[in-house]
Every structure is written in structure tokens, then in C-alpha cells.
Structure 1
């Protein structure tokens, strides 16, 4: 790309990260803009950005990277003893027991094993930005597989399902718990519901056009709207199938901040959240004890994902990212987002990583360049 100038800073010993980031900017197509941040043992060591229209303070939709914040709230309540993984969900949320779900445990729910990837007929745009409405629909929904028999990515709904449990046990929404216990006290630039005063920092999300090869691959996949991938991505709503890339580009969606896909943030915010989780920042201690951090990264679902149609490994909600990035420690955990955002913690290395990009890399999910960037940062951190 013509504009491959890298802005920002790296700590001494992390100069190779700047070089790697410059290389990824140069390799991408026109219009690419990205941010990269990392903490090691609670100290920010990487803070970089580049590409047209973006700076280190810019905010974009991070899509499913939002789930990391939702799972962190869940982990805190588990750590507090407020939640019991092996209790049936109906213990906390009685209405959930309908349509054959009476024996679904909280462990199965958070590990993507409950079979509630969507709803018959899909969700309206208004429902999709309202976690309470999603939860109400799913309480009455029959699962798409026998709970516990398989697993599949609950892409648009897992935040609402967990959020309803959180609301039932705390009297607060998941967003309120996140704000009070995580975002505000640790100064994290990742919002579930973007306040009006931060709208000036917003950058619209834009899809990159797929290459001819990518178009052929997409056509070959042939997922219909009524199959599990289509249901999970709300393609089964006849009048308003969801166009994922466009969701955060309305003020209503950004303000609502649904916990599965509605977060707005930066690479700084993603990295700082995971640093707060495992190391602490600015004199504040870690949110999670080492035991809790190990528990959330413990593999609960591994193998063929019925929705993503590929090999996946999940812990307690979080993706076990060492399965995708084998140079990371086995207890690493995090989550990516559809436009290419990625946040994770590698507790063994004391590393917290955040990457964010403005435009989708087809077909979505963790951007391909994150592997090289994460690898060089970890090498600097442990070397």
C-alpha cells in the first residue's frame, strides 16, 4: 500500500515488532488501516498504528472480540463463587428449562454445547441489538442438537445467554458489571455500548472486496440460510438477513452494545483488558487469580465445530488460542472478531495482545497477519 508509515512506539527490545507491523501494512490492499498493542507483565511495550484515517485513539467495531469481555465477567462471577458450572441453567433462569433444555448445565452453555445457536425464523434487527430480547426468544427455543452431544459457535447469541444468567444472579446487566468491575476501574478502551461523548473517535467499518479465488471458495461452501451456519449468523430471517459488516455502522447498534458482537474499541483496549485480567495494570492487581485464569483456558469443547465447520477448541467461552497459534503457551485464551480484531492473554509469558483493523479481511475472523505479529511479540517478550 502507498501509505505504510507506522506511527506509535515500542519499548526497547521490541523493535522487530515495528518492522513486522510495517510489513503487514505494506502487504495489504489499499484502504487497510490497523492498530497493534501489547503488554508484558502489566507494562505496555507496543503501541502502533498505521494506514489511512486511523490513529491510536480510533475506535471501531470489534465484533466477536467483544465476547472476551463477556467471558471475563463470567469468570469473575465464577471466581467469586456466585456461579457453579455444574448447576443447571434453570437454577438461575427458570424459564430456560422449556423445550428440552431442563438439564443443560452452565458449563455446557458457556462451552457452546447447548445447541442454541439462533432462533427459528431468525431475529429482527431490533432484537439483534437487544440481549434481553434474544434471551427471551432462546428461552423458548428447542435446541438444534442434543445439548452436550456436540458443540458449535453461538456467534450472535452467547453474550445474551450468559448475560441473562448474570442478570438473574446479580440484578445487573452484563454490561453494568463489566463497566463497574472491569472497564471503568482499569481504564479500558473497549465499550459495550459506546457513550455519545466518544462518537468523535468512531471509524466506520468497511468490508474489503473478496478476490476471485475467495469468491469461488465462498460459493463452494454453499451454506444455506436454514443450515446451522446460516442460523447462527441470522441469515434465516426472511425479511432482514444480517449483513455483519454493516452492524456497527448505526448509532443505535453502537449505543446498545450487545455482548456477542456489539463492542466498540481499539487495539489498546483489547490488550489492556487481557493485561488487567492476568497481570494487572497501573498498580491494580490482576482481575483473575492464576487458578481462575487456568480454568477458563481449560479445553471443554474441541473438534469439529458444527457452525464454523472446522476444527475449534473452546475453554469456558474463550477460544483456546494456542490451538491456532501453536507458539503460544497452552493456557493462552482470547477471542477474535469478524473484521480481524484479536485479543488474548498468554499468562505463562505475561503477554497480553491486542490487534484491530478497520476493514474486513474476507471471509472474516482472525486476520491472517495476526499470526506473524503475535509470534514476533512473544519472541521479544520471552527473549
Structure 2
């Protein structure tokens, strides 16, 4: 069976970028209806051919994984999205007691983004955050680290298991995802991020591993584009009642657009609970429906990971770039659907 035309166009565009040395390499999954196409072009590292089986860091795009896990926990009766932090932490600062799980997922509690990053464990970091933090005044503001640390610790508490095991057993396992994990594993190939140097050669990003540890689940997480594509395909199926992980009402609740979130200095963006909801308006090229959801992973302002799912079209596109791509490139590439 031949590849769907959009997948062929995406592959050809990526090949041209690699040929011009604008991109080291990339992997992608394109799914339209029942057809799935895997793409791998260029190199994952100089001298290492890119394949669909080389995992890379998810950066902020790990937050939807935590959101799905929270949805699973809610379905199992272990937590409620409207539960306050006071239910899970005995010694919390008064200003934190009424903050809810949904606030953590939707970025509607404005906390400093990198509190207690040197904590020895996720549980200890969350305890320190909840016990001492004071939400800042003002509207919702995107938080890449602090809120996810608290959410991850809550999930560990309600399951009495490490977060890495929960990702493996409650999300990756049921879908047969071999490469989705909280941290790199010695038995799976991992490709660190590279950047293009002034001599047009690609070199490793020096601080790529910074923040890649178990106490920082908001920016940890590793996967292939293929595994994340299958996760998003299951989310689309969940909306129709055929998903393996979430019931339709749970998926719809996570994806419902909430308050606008200030994304650093890039302006206000629409958010659900763990998912970006304005990709079709502000990030992607033409051809994506208004209900498209997903997430970006950036380092620091250029895209490394892109996940997008369009319920109306039954379309999923997940991308992993082995060297970062600018906004114009993302817009042009995603318009090829």
C-alpha cells in the first residue's frame, strides 16, 4: 500500500531540508483514518542514520502524558480533577490548599516555574512546593516545571508507585508503546538533540540533559514520534468511544478549552487540561480543524517535538526533529497535509 499523499509530501520536504543542511534529521508518524505512515530521514546524530526507533526527549510535550495518566487515575477512582491539594498533602501553605488537580493541568495557578529543582526526589520536591509556595497574582500563566512536579507526586501517592512505573504500566503498556518512558532507558536507543554550528556541521546541545531527571516530569519524558503518534491516535479513538485508555467523557474533559494561558512573552494561548488547543490558529499551517489539540516541545524557543491531532479529519501528525526547527518551518511543513 502506498503512503498517503500528505505523508509523501512531508517526507520530501524533510529530505530537502536535510539535503540543504537546514536539518540534521527527523522522524514522524502520519495517520489518516486507518492508514499509518512512519517517516525517518537524515541522521539522528552525525554518522548515525535516523530511524523510527530512536527515542528523544519530549521536553514540554510530556505534559499530555501526565494528563492522560491523571485521566486514568480519575477513572479508577483514585483522584478527581477538582480535588484540592489539601487532600494529598498534610502540610501545605494556606495559599496552596485550595489549588486543584485541574489547576495544575490547566496552568491556572501561577507559580514560579522552577521551584526546588535540586530536590533529591519527586515526592520531596512536591512537598516543599506545596508547603512553601505562594501563587502569584494575575491570570493563568504557563508553567513548565513546578505544577507538573506536584501533579507527578500526587500520582505517585495515589498509586503508591514511582511515576516512571506508572507511565510504563498505565499508559505505555496498554498501547504497546516500547519507547515511551519517563527517562531514557539503557536498553532503548536514545538520540540527544543537536544544533547546527557556524561551520554548517551539527554538534550536540551542551545542556540537553539538564532537567532530564525523575523530579522534573514536566520536562522529562522520552519517546519516539511513532509511540506518541499511537498515543494521540488512541485519544482520537477515545473521543469516539473506542480508545483503550480513556472513556469519551474523560477525554472530552481533558480537551475542553479552559482559560487562556499566558505563554511566556508569546501572548495568550488556549489550553485544555494538559493540551494546547490553539495549534490550528497559531502554530500549524492551513488544513487543520479548529478542534485540533496537541503540544509542542521546544529548546529553547525552536521546535524539537510537535504533536497534533485533528478529530474532524481523523488525522494525527507527530514529529521529532533531531535539530531544532523555527516557527516558519513548522508552519510550512504542517501545511502539507
Fold-level similarity (TM above 0.5)? yes
Matched residue, 1:228: none
Give 1:44 shift.
4.8
Taking a change above 3 Å as real, the CA distance of residues 293 and 93 of structure 1, as seen in their structure-2 partners, is: same
Q: Which runs of 5+ in 1 are unaligned?
A: 1-10, 211-243, 378-383
Matched residue, 1:347: 311
Taking a change above 3 Å as real, the CA distance of residues 263 and 327 of structure 1, as seen in their structure-2 partners, is: same
- Secondary structure, aligned partner of 1:259: coil
Q: Which runs of 5+ in 2 are unaligned?
A: 199-203
Which of 146, 150, 164 is the equivalent residue of 1:157? 146
Taking a change above 3 Å as real, the CA distance of residues 12 and 291 of structure 1, as seen in their structure-2 partners, is: farther
Matched residue, 1:141: 132
Structure-2 separation of matches of 1:348 and 1:257? 37
Give 1:247 shift.
4.8
Matched residue, 2:195: 207
The reply to whether residue 287 of structure 1 matches residue 245 of structure 2 is yes
Which of 97, 100, 103 is the equivalent residue of 1:108? 103
Matched residue, 1:19: 9
Which structure is higher in helix share? 1
- Secondary structure, aligned partner of 2:37: strand
Give 1:144 shift.
4.6
Would the aligned equivalents of 1:297 and 1:331 in 2 still touch at CA under 8 Å? no
Give 1:46 shift.
1.8
Which of 62, 74, 78 is the equivalent residue of 1:78? 74
Matched residue, 2:268: 311
Structure-2 separation of matches of 1:245 and 1:35? 19
TM (norm. structure 1) is: 0.72
Structure-1 separation of matches of 2:206 and 2:146? 18
Would the aligned equivalents of 1:204 and 1:358 in 2 still touch at CA under 8 Å? yes
Matched residue, 1:334: 294
Structure-2 separation of matches of 1:119 and 1:13? 43
Structure-1 separation of matches of 2:123 and 2:328? 34
**TM-superposition CA deviations, 1:45-95 (whole Å, max 9, x none):** 221111133122222222111112111101222334432233322122333
Taking a change above 3 Å as real, the CA distance of residues 247 and 175 of structure 1, as seen in their structure-2 partners, is: farther
- Secondary structure, aligned partner of 1:154: coil
The root-mean-square deviation of aligned C-alpha atoms, in Å, is: 3.0
Matched residue, 2:117: 123
**TM-superposition CA deviations, 1:2-48 (whole Å, max 9, x none):** xxxxxxxxx5461342223322442466252111102334x452211
Taking a change above 3 Å as real, the CA distance of residues 76 and 329 of structure 1, as seen in their structure-2 partners, is: farther
Taking a change above 3 Å as real, the CA distance of residues 327 and 294 of structure 1, as seen in their structure-2 partners, is: farther
Give 1:259 shift.
1.9
- Secondary structure, aligned partner of 1:349: coil
- Secondary structure, aligned partner of 2:87: helix
Structure-1 separation of matches of 2:258 and 2:196? 34
Equivalences for 1:186-265 in 2 at 5 Å?
186-188=175-177, 189-198=179-188, 201-208=189-196, 245-249=205-209, 256=214, 258-265=216-223
Would the aligned equivalents of 1:39 and 1:351 in 2 still touch at CA under 8 Å? yes
TM (norm. structure 2) is: 0.81
Structure-1 separation of matches of 2:319 and 2:250? 24
- Secondary structure, aligned partner of 2:27: strand
Matched residue, 1:37: 29
Which of 36, 61, 66 is the equivalent residue of 1:65? 61
Structure-2 separation of matches of 1:317 and 1:270? 15
Give 1:329 shift.
3.2
**TM-superposition CA deviations, 1:309-339 (whole Å, max 9, x none):** 4221110121113343474333332211114
The reply to whether residue 358 of structure 1 matches residue 315 of structure 2 is no
Structure-2 separation of matches of 1:203 and 1:13? 26
Give 1:308 shift.
4.2
Would the aligned equivalents of 1:298 and 1:316 in 2 still touch at CA under 8 Å? yes
Taking a change above 3 Å as real, the CA distance of residues 116 and 141 of structure 1, as seen in their structure-2 partners, is: farther
Structure-1 separation of matches of 2:324 and 2:121? 24
